[in-house]
Amino acid sequence: MMVNQPIIMGVLNITPDSFSDGGLFLDSATAVTQAQLMVEEGAGIIDIGGESTRPGAPAVSSEDELKRVMPVIEALSGNIDVPISIDTSKPIVMKEAFSAGASIINDVNALRADGALKMAAELGADVCLMHMQGTPRTMQANPSYDNVVDDVKKFFHERIAACENAGIQLDSITIDPGFGFGKNLGHNIALLKNLSEFHDFGVSILAGLSRKSMIGALLGDKDVDSRLIGSVTAALIAAENGADIIRVHDVAETKDALTVWEQIQNFRE
């Protein structure tokens, strides 16, 4: 999906164990209210997920994932005026979520699960392909790269080609370098500083930095509840470096920061 200015993607985790908001929105009514609030605050996409992908997170069955996300998608579909994204790697969850009103697939596994690429193509979905070294269970054990920017770019070259071969159009593809997914602090910083290089692929770029451990580390090991200013600052740096979609928990604060940044960027004396 191609955009003219950065769009905010609001995070809505329907999980008991996500690193930041786990357990807060397991009740469907509470989740729906939160989604509506994020839209009012300026979110241009709502990203709904039913399986935590934090480091060390256990796998979740398709059945449990569907039980978590489907009531929320069904309640929101037609009642919010922004697209709904399903954050999943499972083809059956993609299919059911689309039947309920989702229109974007945000996959941390970049459509590599059996049947995922075929399903995305059949659904005619916009897709977001994320880079991850390893799995959520193992990714932070000892991440290693020859050159993290070059290695991640090689991965996207392969995955974009696979998508196009499956019939997914280039303008339906977004890529996400996967901050914190099999990367140490140095890897994350290198990717953020060189984010603009990923526009070489001719697709939009998503940056998900909100409240992540890299923010805490840069602030002297602040805990997750003390990372708001750091997260907003990282969002601005991502926008400055070419991010088209900014995935965040704190929509209102990020929207204000981006609004000031955009107005200054576009000011003409």
Active-site residue set = 212, 247
Look at residues 27, 50, 169 and name the one whose alpha carbon lies nearest to residue 108.
50
Question: Which candidate, 74, 68, 12, places its Cα nearest to that of 39?
Answer: 12
What token pair was written down for 174?
Answer: 């977004």
Tokens found for residue 145: 């790269």
Q: How far apart are CA 46 and CA 51, in angstroms?
A: 16
CB 177 within 8 A of CB 152: yes
Determine the Cα–Cα distance for residues 211 and 228; give it in Å rounded to an integer: 7
CA distance 146 to 148: 6
Residue 124: which residues within 8 A CB-CB, separation 6 or more?
none
Pick from 251, 231, 237, 180: nearest CA to 37: 251
